[in-house]
Chains A and B, each alone.
Chain A
Amino acid sequence: MTHRVVITGIGVVLPNGNNPESYRDNLIAGKSGAGPITLFDAGEMPTRIAAEVKWDGPLVAEDRRTTFAIEAARQAYDNANLCGSAPKGDGRLCVGVGLEVFAPADMAKMQRADFELPEELAKRLKFLHMPGDLMPHVVSERFGFRRPPLVMISACASSADAIGSCYREIAHGRQRWMMGGGTDSMVTPLGIIAFSKLCALSTLNESPEKAARPFSRDREGFVMGEGASMLVLERLEDAEARGAEIYGEIVGYGHSLDAFGIAEPHPEGRGALQAMQRALDDGGLHPDQVDVINGHATATRKNDPIESLACKNLLGDRAKEVPICATKSMIGHIIAGSAAAEIVATVVCMNVDMVHPTLNLHDPDPECDLDYVPLVARPHKTTLALCNSFGFGGMNATIAVRKL
């Protein structure tokens, strides 16, 4: 590594906050963004709740992923420029983006015998739902980035891999600054159906805010979320030279492949442990230095105890002393966008010496016997935090963040 990498800009569009300050305040207050689905008529589906972004502005290309990404990127860029000067050199985008989930109304139109595609390019591409791989080009164009965007599709680890790749690009001297993050919106009929059929979603429709219950004995799955989070990352020396506010330093990135199950983690948490250990090794750090872990914490039956086991194996005797918090208990699971939202959560809370709570944790699962910061935020001085993201398909990524 030749350069230290710092965060100088943050932007979010999330279910419980459409800017970093409101997001931080709502996290610390334990305010959930979950509610009944309003984006479509969920009718008789078993899951009729989600953590939706409260957005009444126009949609770019009729696509929520793209719209949220552009807005989060704009905020992050403006935030990085608050000191009066922009990051030095050319930027580049690296972003985690979600699966294609097609618009059923358009799909129905497609099947009509008299169906014809519109003439206009934009309308053609928007029809059925804009492909996810177009979004990074749209965002890159807005900021004039001249290198091709990097697009990560490692499921729930996508935006951790995106931010990790930004860190490597800058640390190794290939870029002076980058925009990294993730965006997703699977609060769509097919998104909800697909995960419902896998029994991955909570069905606590009568109490949406209580539905996401990571580490609880009675957890039954996650609440689908949506949103985007973006970070401006740059060299420490550049940030200092231009007087930018520094929110934190990325000090390590580790990832691994479980090579085990497509929808279940390795039973000993091997891949999760590898990701955390590699992130620490990358930064020349030791597990004893870890002050907080932002858990993947999906509230699925399989993830939470395995993640707890991996944390115990990493931390050893200190396992019960290190708080593990679950951002998904408040914003739901944003799939490709989740990791970036959780990294932001870690950074903004770290900077006010707080750790946000895990909501709805009244009765912990006996297999989840660590300190998950139940119900209420607490003061906590954090110097080093790990942010975990363990994806469908066995892709695991951990980002190590340090307070400067």
Chain B
Amino acid sequence: MASPESKIVVTGAGFSELGEGDVRPFLRTPNLRKLLGPWDRLAVMAAARAIEAANLPLDLGERAGLFMVVGHVPAQKDNMETLMEDSLDENGDFSEALNCRNAYLNFNPIWTFHSLTNSPAFFVSSSFNIQGTYFVTFSEPGQFYLALEECIYALRAGRADMAVVGATVDQDNEMVRFHYRRTLPPLAEEELRSGAGFLILETAEAAAARGAQPHAILEEYSIEYRTHDPLKESFAQEEVFQPAGPCSDAYWGPASLPISIARAGAGTLEHSLRGRDGIHATSRWEVKS
């Protein structure tokens, strides 16, 4: 059914923001709830909406693939402070020995799960029983294009019948705010947003075979790269949506494009990106509904 020239269509799209939606119905077992971090919740909720919009069952199985990007690893200020408690010696200097002892005593094992970069992928795969091929990467908007391209290869090669493709970012925390303060030029914390966007991608043939109506069609995309040493050279990010949309005036990281597609009205959506990681990418989508 698939071929190297197959058109790629979006048959479902969903997004989520912090503080809304109930993921409990989607978790494989209720006790997984205690391991959920904010970016996991965002991812599960957005993926659920995309899958439902595509009229697919919530149990996708072996022929479904997962392609996703996560933002920078989050950590809350109070958790970081807890790890540093009682780590200064009598001179007020940081003591590694004191830190090792006290951080061990204070460390909550849940934090390990919350900082696992592939944790959102786990929650999406387990919630929707996705057992097929995957590609999970991080952390800037250009990486979404690399995930998208891997997905296109997989669909056209027939390694998956459908793909759940998206990104999730939790930027409402001290660690991510710090990360963007230190980049040059820095990003102000007011610009940082948290959210997730997911798309269901299929070949046009596969979508037609199951009677699915495309939400959007990927008309074209390009990816280029400016080789650079990030320790010596930095770039400002330039990201443009035409027409302007919900992600035009803030920084949503790699989630910006899938969120924009999920929220776009009918018409052509063009995206152009010059990322701080040297990835330059463009895409054009024909949104049907």
Contact = CB atoms under 8 A, between A and B. Distances in A.
The listed residue with most A CB atoms (<10 A of its CB), out of B75, B113, B129, is: B113
Interface of B: 28, 32, 35, 62, 66, 70, 72-73, 75, 80-81, 83-84, 87-88, 94, 96-97, 99-101, 103-104, 107-109, 111-113, 115-119, 121-122, 125-126, 128-140, 142-143, 146, 150, 153, 157, 175, 178-179, 181-184, 223, 225, 227-234, 277-279
Contact of B277 (A117, A137, A259, A263): A137
Contact of A257 (B104, B109, B131, B229): B131
B286 to A, nearest CB: 26
Nearest to B147: A150
Contacts of A122: 231-232
A45 interface: yes
A133 interface: yes
A389 interface: no
Contact of B227 (A40, A132, A141, A196): A141
A137 B230 contact: yes
A41 B113 contact: no
A190 B83 contact: yes
A189 B96 contact: yes
A313 B157 CA distance: 28
Given A151-B143, A155-B116, A131 B66 contact: no
7 contacts: A134-B230, A151-B137, A155-B117, A258-B125, A258-B131, A259-B126, A395-B136
A395 B67 CA distance: 13
A256 interface: yes
A263 B273 CA distance: 36
Contacts of B125: 257-259, 394
Contacts of A140: 227
A194 B138 contact: no
Contacts of B277: 133, 137, 148
Interface stretch (A8-16, A105-113, A222-230, A322-330): A105-113
A105 B150 CA distance: 39
A124 interface: yes
A107 B139 contact: no
Q: Which of B35, B84, B100 has most chain A Cβ within 10 Å?
A: B100
Interface string A140-163: 110011111011111100000100
Given A150-B137, A262-B32, A43 B97 contact: yes
Contacts of A395: 118, 121-122, 134, 136
B87 A393 contact: no
B165 to A, nearest CB: 14
Size class of A's contact patch? 35 or more
A138 B231 contact: yes
Given A107-B83, A151-B143, A137 B28 contact: no
Contacts of A100: 72-73, 115, 117
Given A138-B229, A148-B279, A262-B113, A108 B119 contact: no
A257 to B, nearest CB: 4
Nearest to B113: A262
Nearest to B122: A393
* Most chain B beta-carbon neighbours within 10 Å: one of A122, A126, A262: A262
A67 to B, nearest CB: 13
A378 to B, nearest CB: 36
Contacts of B122: 262, 393-395
B94 A259 contact: no
Most buried by B among A110, A137, A196, A257: A257
Given A104-B84, A108-B88, A45 B104 contact: yes
A258 B101 CA distance: 35
A43 B101 contact: yes
Contact of A393 (B121, B128, B142): B121
A214 interface: no
B27 to A, nearest CB: 11
Contact of A262 (B83, B119, B143, B181): B119
Contact of A133 (B96, B138, B178): B138
A315 interface: no
Contacts of B73: 99-100
Nearest to B88: A108
A131 B107 contact: no
A391 B125 CA distance: 14
Contacts of A193: 100, 103-104, 107
A198 B109 CA distance: 6
A139 B121 CA distance: 26
A274 interface: yes
Interface in A256-315: 256-263, 270-271, 274
B68 to A, nearest CB: 10
Contacts of B116: 99, 155, 262, 392-393
Given A104-B103, A153-B136, A148 B142 contact: yes
A190 B80 CA distance: 11
Given A125-B182, A195-B112, 15 more contacts: A40-B100, A43-B100, A44-B100, A108-B99, A122-B232, A148-B146, A154-B134, A155-B117, A189-B96, A189-B100, A255-B133, A259-B28, A259-B125, A262-B32, A262-B126
Contacts of B109: 194, 197-198
Contacts of A155: 116-118
Given A193-B107, A259-B126, A394-B125, A274 B94 contact: no
A128 interface: yes
A102 to B, nearest CB: 8
Nearest to B120: A393
A137 B278 contact: yes
Contact of A154 (B80, B118, B183, B233): B118
A200 B138 CA distance: 25
Contacts of B184: 121, 124
A102 B121 CA distance: 22
Nearest to A40: B96
Contacts of A153: 70, 117-118, 136-138
Contact of A137 (B72, B75, B99, B229): B229
Contacts of B128: 259
B164 to A, nearest CB: 11
